[in-house]
Amino acid sequence: MTTPAIKICGISTSEALDAAIRARADYAGFVFFAKSPRNVTPREAAQLSARAAGRIARVGLFVDADDATIGEAMEAASLDVLQLHGKETPERAAQLGARFGVAVWKALSVASAADVSRATDYAGAVERVLFDAKTPKGTLPGGMGLSFDWSLVANWKGPVAWGLAGGLAPGNVAEAIVRTATPLVDTSSGVESAPGVKDEGLIARFCEAVRSAG
Ligand SMILES: O=C(O)c1ccccc1N[C@@H]1O[C@H](COP(=O)(O)O)[C@@H](O)[C@H]1O
């Protein structure tokens, strides 16, 4: 089995960024969503991005953001990937990819097989879809440590690349990989000691667990 790529999301300090780089994660995620405990300003992201340059790819996470918000973050942080974690349509995702000239990933909240089928709508519009758990109404649309029934995406073969998110942590990520054969894993709260507080030891353990499964 090929080892999946690893994304550590919600990085807001240089210590957490360095831990992800040391652990050989592939992507560092910066959250641009004011309601999140992991939110970073464009100014903070610019500093983290400069530290990350050439060492780890930079993903900016947005929730139904307008062009100005994304443009400001892009300019400050030279993002490699835009992760859309709201209700963005395939048309909106394609428009953002064309406007900013970077890869776009679309997170899809999953609770049923029908939710997984929505991924096909994004073929040609995005580089990758991320299957994440559906979160309760009135809460954050992600970053809640909730997982979904992995059998819904086991060995998923669709018309677009994909990844698995939602409730992944050092203790369950190897099982998730074995059960789904996902090509990418994404974690945020699973490598934290408190909401928004990344734990360097958990980041290292998460990446070790991914490699042990792959
Ligand atoms: O991390 C956040 O605060 C966040 C806020 C709004 C939308 C998405 C968010 N995080 C993403 O959610 C998934 C799952 O996170 P977790 O591992 O269950 O905590 C992941 O893609 C995060 O990047």
pTM tops 0.95: yes
Catalytic residue, from 64, 67, 121, 132: name it: 132
Q: In angstroms, how far is CA 39 from the centroid of its own chain?
A: 14
What whole-number distance in Å separates Cα of residue 84 and Cα of residue 53? 22
- Which atom from ligand 1 is nearest to the alpha carbon of 147? 18
Q: Note the pLDDT tens digit of each residue in 139-189.
A: 999 999 999 999 999 999 999 999 999 999 999 999 999 999 999 999 999
Ranges of each domain in the chain: 5-213
Alpha carbon of 61 to ligand 1 centroid (Å): 9
By percentage, how much of the chain surpasses pLDDT 70? 100
Confidence of residue 214 (pLDDT cuts 50, 70, 90): low
Q: Is 29 in the pocket of ligand 1 (CB under 6 A)?
A: yes
The count of residues in the chain is 214
What whole-number distance in Å separates Cα of residue 198 and Cα of residue 20? 10
CB 83 within 8 A of CB 130: yes
Q: Note the pLDDT tens digit of each residue in 13-52.
A: 999 999 999 999 999 999 999 999 999 999 999 999 999 9
> Predicted ipTM?
0.97
**Res 2: pLDDT:** 87
CB 176 within 8 A of CB 182: yes
What whole-number distance in Å separates Cα of residue 34 and Cα of residue 39? 6
The answer to whether 207 is a known catalytic residue is no
- Which atom from ligand 1 is nearest to the alpha carbon of 107? 21
The domain 5-213: what is its CATH number?
A: 3.20.20.70
Q: Nearest residue CA, atom 2 of ligand 1? A: 143
